[in-house]
Amino acid sequence: MKLLEHEAKSQFSKYGIPVPGGVVIRSQEELSEKMNELPEQFVLKAQVEVGGRGKAGGILMAGRSDGVAIAGELFKKEIKGVPVKEILAEERLEIQQEFYLSIAVDRSSKQALILFADAGGVEIEALAKERPDAVRKASLPLLIRDVPAFMLRDLMGKAPKEVGKIINQLYRVFCEKDAILAEINPLVTTPSGVFAADAKLIIDDNALARQGITQNRDLTEREREAERHGFSYVELSGDIGVIGNGAGLTMATLDLIEYYDGRAANFLDVGGGADQERVMHAVRLVAGDPSVKVIVVNLLGGITRCDEVARGVIAAGITQQVIVRLAGTNEAEGKQILAGSGYRMLDSMEQAVKAAVEAVR
C-alpha cells in the first residue's frame, strides 16, 4: 500500500531523517487555523499518490496572504483524476543541490537495492539512460543490519557527509516498515542542512497487519469486498466478466478474450478450493458490475469439484449469461447439473472464450 507524502515524511522523521516543517490540512478553514505555524512563504502540495504531481498542477507556491484562496482552488482540483482531499503546507527550501535516493526490493538479487544519483527530482530510469555515471547502485542482503561504510562511500560520491547517515536511516525504515520501496526524490542540500524534500513509502501488502494497517487504501470498494471473500479482483473496462482459479490461468483467460477481440470487465481469481459458496459469491460480485453482459467461468484443477462449482453458478441466480469451462473431479456430474438448468458448458478455455466474445457482439 502506498503511503501519502506526509505519512511517509512522518515515518522518515521518526528515524532521524530531516524533513521540512509543515502542516497537513483537510480544508481551507484548517489552513487559516494553522497559519501561524507556517512561515511567511510556503508551498501547498496535494496529497495524491500519482507520479508527475507537480507538472499536473498539484504543487502551488503560496504565502500567508493568498494561501487560503490558493488552497481552496487546489481542493477543487483533480490531479490526474484523483480528487485532492489533503494538502501538505510546507516551508519552502533554499535548494543548493539535489540528489536521488531509493531503496527497493530487487527481484533479481533478492536483496535490497539502494540507488543514489547526483541529480534529484528526476525520473531515475531516464537519468540512468542519459547519464549512467550519475547513478550508482548497491545491493545489500537483508541479513545485514547497517549499510557498510564502503558501500556508503561508493554510493555517495561527492555528496555531503550527512547523506551517509540518511542512507543508513532510510535502510532502517525500509527493513522495519516492511517496505517494498522507500524513496527520497529529491534529497536536497540547503544552507541549514540536508532535507527529504519529497518522500515515498510503499508497504508490502502481505505485511500490512503486522505494520498495524487495517485497511488497504489502494483498493476500490468492490476490490475490498472481493478481498473479504478471499478473491483477487481487479476492475477493468470491458463487458465480459471473468472468473478463474489461479492468477496465471485467469490472466491467460483475459488475454485470450483480447486475442479474439473481446474486452474483459474484470479479473477475478477465486483461489484454491472453489466450493459452491465461493463460486456463488464470485458470480454475484462480477454480475454486480452493470457493464458485465456475459460471464466466463474458467476453472481447472485437481481438487476443484465440478459439481460444487455448477451448483454455485446456479445458486448465484443472476440474469446475465454464464459460460462455463470446468475440468477436475466430478466433471460429468457438473456438466449434467449445468445442462439441466440451461447453462452452457464447454470443454476448452478457447471454446468458452470464443463463445463469450460472440455473445456480446
Encode the chain in three state secondary structure. Answer: CECCHHHHHHHHHHCCCCCCCEEEECCHHHHHHHHHHCCCEEEEEECCCCCCCCCCCCEEEEECCCHHHHHHHHHHCEECCEECCCEEEEECCCCCEEEEEEEEEECCCCEEEEEEECCCCCCHHHHHHHCHHHEEEEEECCCCCCCCHHHHHHHHCCCCCHHHHHHHHHHHHHHHCCEEEEEEEEEEEECCEEEECCCEEEECHHHCHHHCCCCCCCCCHHHHHHHHCCCEEEECCCCEEEEECCHHHHHHHHHHHHHCCCCECEEEECCCCCCHHHHHHHHHHHHCCCCCCEEEEEEEEEEEEHHHHHHHHHHHCCCCEEEEEEEEECHHHHHHHHHHCCCEEECCHHHHHHHHHHHHC
- Comparing CB distances to other proteins, the nearer of 30 and 227 is 227
Q: Choosing from 171, 183, 233, 308, which is the catalytic residue?
A: 183
Exactly one of 81, 132, 141, 191 binds other proteins (CB under 8 A); that residue is: 141
Q: Residue 107 interacts with other proteins (CB under 8 A)?
A: yes
Which residues touch 87 (CB under 8 Å, ≥6 apart)? Answer: 24, 25, 26, 31, 44, 45, 46, 47, 71, 74, 75
Query: What is the smallest separation between the CB atom of 58 and other proteins, expressed in angstroms?
Result: 18
15 catalytic? Reply is: no
Exactly one of 30, 204, 225, 275 binds other proteins (CB under 8 A); that residue is: 204
Exactly one of 251, 287, 315, 355 binds other proteins (CB under 8 A); that residue is: 251
Query: What is the smallest separation between the CB atom of 133 and other proteins, expressed in angstroms?
Result: 21
Q: Residue 42 interacts with other proteins (CB under 8 A)?
A: no
Exactly one of 37, 153, 348, 358 binds other proteins (CB under 8 A); that residue is: 348
Q: Residue 59 interacts with other proteins (CB under 8 A)?
A: no
Query: What is the smallest separation between the CB atom of 86 and other proteins, expressed in angstroms?
Result: 21
> Whole-angstrom Cα distance, residue 233 to residue 226?
6
Q: Residue 245 interacts with other proteins (CB under 8 A)?
A: yes
Window 162 to 201, contacts with other proteins (CB under 8 A): 175, 178, 180
Window 268 to 297, contacts with other proteins (CB under 8 A): 269
Q: How many residues does the chain have?
A: 361
Q: Residue 111 interacts with other proteins (CB under 8 A)?
A: yes
Q: Choosing from 5, 86, 100, 233, which is the catalytic residue?
A: 100
Query: What is the smallest separation between the CB atom of 263 and other proteins, expressed in angstroms?
Result: 9
Q: Residue 210 interacts with other proteins (CB under 8 A)?
A: yes
Q: Residue 214 interacts with other proteins (CB under 8 A)?
A: no
- Comparing CB distances to other proteins, the nearer of 66 and 350 is 350
Which of these segments, 141-149, 164-172, 188-196, 282-290, binds other proteins (CB under 8 A)?
Answer: 141-149
183 catalytic? Reply is: yes
# binding residues, other proteins (CB under 8 A): 47
Chain residues binding other proteins by CB under 8 A are: 105, 107-108, 110-112, 125, 141-143, 175, 178, 180, 204-207, 210, 232, 234, 236, 244-252, 254-259, 264, 267, 269, 300-303, 327, 348-350
Q: Which residues are catalytic?
A: 100, 183
